[in-house]
Amino acid sequence: MKKGIIFDIQRCSLVDGDGVRTAIFFKGCNLKCKWCHNPEGIDKNIQMLYYKDKCTFCGKCTQICPNEQKSCTLCGKCTVYCPADAKEICGKEYAIKELLDIILKDKTYYEASGGGVTLSGGECMLQIDFVKELLKKCRENQINTAVDTAGNVEWKCFEEILPYTNTFLFDIKCISENLHKQGTGVSNLLILKNLKRLSDANANIVIRIPIIGGFNDSYDELLKISQFLKNINFKKVELLPYHNMGKHKYEALNLESHLFSEPQKEQIDKFKKLFA
């Protein structure tokens, strides 16, 4: 079985679905959201992060590097010997059993809280074969499962995992196609079509809407989303206020970052009334 490439595992998470959960973040995403707070999850490959603001220029990384830093093979030696933790390997290959062993450590907490496992990203469904097998193993062990997705994948990916997924956390950025292209680099037609088909399949859906200041935080755009959702069967809507805590990751990956304004509580409360 092919291994999955994971960039983070968060045990005892309280923000990735119901109850206490283990959230597993898969590398690779086919959206390029300008506000993404996990840019290390966009590229499907294992990467090196370099935090320039931490670096003391002591030269130990060059001394230990097999290639004297002329090229990087991601061996990780520099991350071990760096006294300032200025370098970090992002991404690791896991076998199903390795992840299942981690998941099972907290089964008691899942059962007590109504929690379970959430597969996220990146876009976890880009590694669909691995995701399907992991979900099946969770189901065999009576563990609740959730899949956090942006929905920009072929419908057959949803069909593959529908029997093994208790809840889909489905992101909706906006309804206006041109606005979606500006913010994410892709159309939202496939995404909205998949959401409708998922609803028709009677899946348990939680709608997640990031509120991005200066992008989709207009009353008209949120109204369009609420009107679209009138034809969707879903459990609830979660509004996720933008934050810029991922800015340092863009710098560590040498990527351009885009800053947006953080919505105010009064603004979020106003939008909540649209979905009440």
d(C-alpha 241, C-alpha 119), whole Å: 21
Q: Are residues 176 and 66 in the same domain?
A: no
- pTM listed for this prediction: 0.94
As beta bridge partners, residue 240 has 210
Which of 36, 70, 89 terminates a domain? The answer is 89
- Tokens standing for 235? 């459990």
Domain that includes residue 74, residue range? 48-89
CATH of the domain at 207: 3.20.20.70
State which amino acid sits at residue 130. Answer: F
In the chain, the number of structural domains is: 2
Q: What is the dihedral of CA 101, 102, 108, 113, to 10 degrees?
A: -140
Over the stretch 186-199, which tens digit does the pLDDT of each residue have? 999 999 999 999 99
Cα-based distances in Å from 145 to 24, 136, 216, 220: 11, 10, 30, 34
Q: How are the residues of the chain apportioned to helix, strand and coil, as percentages rounded to the nearest 5? A: 40, 20, 40
pLDDT tens by residue, 212-261? 999 999 999 999 999 999 999 999 999 999 988 888 999 999 998 898 99
The domain that contains 72 carries what CATH number? 3.30.70
Q: Average of pLDDT values for 200-206?
A: 97
How buried is residue 152: exposed, middle or buried, by Cβ count under 10 Å (0-12/13-18/19+)? buried
Q: Which of 89, 118, 150 is the last residue of a domain?
A: 89
Q: What angle do CA 20, 171, 193 make, to 5 degrees?
A: 135
> Is residue 56 domain-shared with residue 191, that is, in the same domain?
no
82 and 210 in a single domain? The answer is no
Instruction: Dump pLDDT digits (tens) for 143-175.
Output: 999 999 999 999 999 999 999 999 999 999 999
Examine the fold and report which residue of 89, 119, 140 is the final residue of a domain before the chain moves on.
Answer: 89
In the structure, what pLDDT confidence band is assigned to residue 1 with cuts at 50, 70 and 90? low
Let me know whether 223 and 107 are in one domain.
yes
Does one domain contain both 175 and 236?
A: yes
pLDDT given at position 217 = 93
